[in-house]
Amino acid sequence: MPTAEERAYGVDIARGRDWSVDANGVIQTVTGEELLRQAIRHRLTTQPGALVHRPGYGCGLKRFRATLLRPAALAAAKAEVVRSLRAETRIAKVEYAEVTSTTIDGRESMVAQVRATAKALPRTIDEAVQIGA
């Protein structure tokens, strides 16, 4: 019988760089708040057009990498994060979004910090996502 979280958010394969598999070879799954965090990370790190079956899915943050030190570019990147997260059906409201520029190992990178409220079981989710580097 599915739990309230599973009914509200669904269940998906746990993602990192690869699928998570336990000692018995069973693919691990996530639900609830962790699933919503995973969905945020996936949406913000996927370029629009990368998924053939969902060409509008994703967030076009990589196009801002060359101009991140400009305030106008950071504002446009923030608007792109908000636009992308509003398309996520499990999010009721994007309460906060910020994109900052940083250097990691000598390479320019971005960090998107977001706060969103989930729809089904109202919870506030805070997540920081690194893009690039």
CA–CA separation, 113 and 109 (whole Å): 13
What are 117's two structure tokens?
């409220």
Q: What are phi and psi of 2, to 5 degrees?
A: -65, 145
**Which has the closest alpha carbon to 63: 41, 47, 85?**
47
CA–CA separation, 54 and 84 (whole Å): 13
> pLDDT digits over 80-109, tens only?
999 999 999 989 999 999 998 877 788 778
Q: What class does CATH assign to 4-132?
A: alpha beta
* pTM confidence score: 0.84
Average pLDDT, integer, range 96-125: 86
| Mean pLDDT taken over the chain | 86
For residues 73, 75, 81, 86, the Cα torsion angle rounded to the nearest 10 degrees is: -140
Half-sphere exposure of 75 (CA within 13 A, CB side): 3
- Starting at the edge strand that comes first in sequence, how are the strands of the sheet with 91-104 ordered? 91-104, 107-118, 124-132
Half-sphere exposure of 122 (CA within 13 A, CB side): 4
Q: Is the pLDDT of residue 68 over 80?
A: no
Q: Is the pLDDT of residue 69 over 80?
A: no
Element (H, E) at 3: none
CA–CA separation, 6 and 10 (whole Å): 5
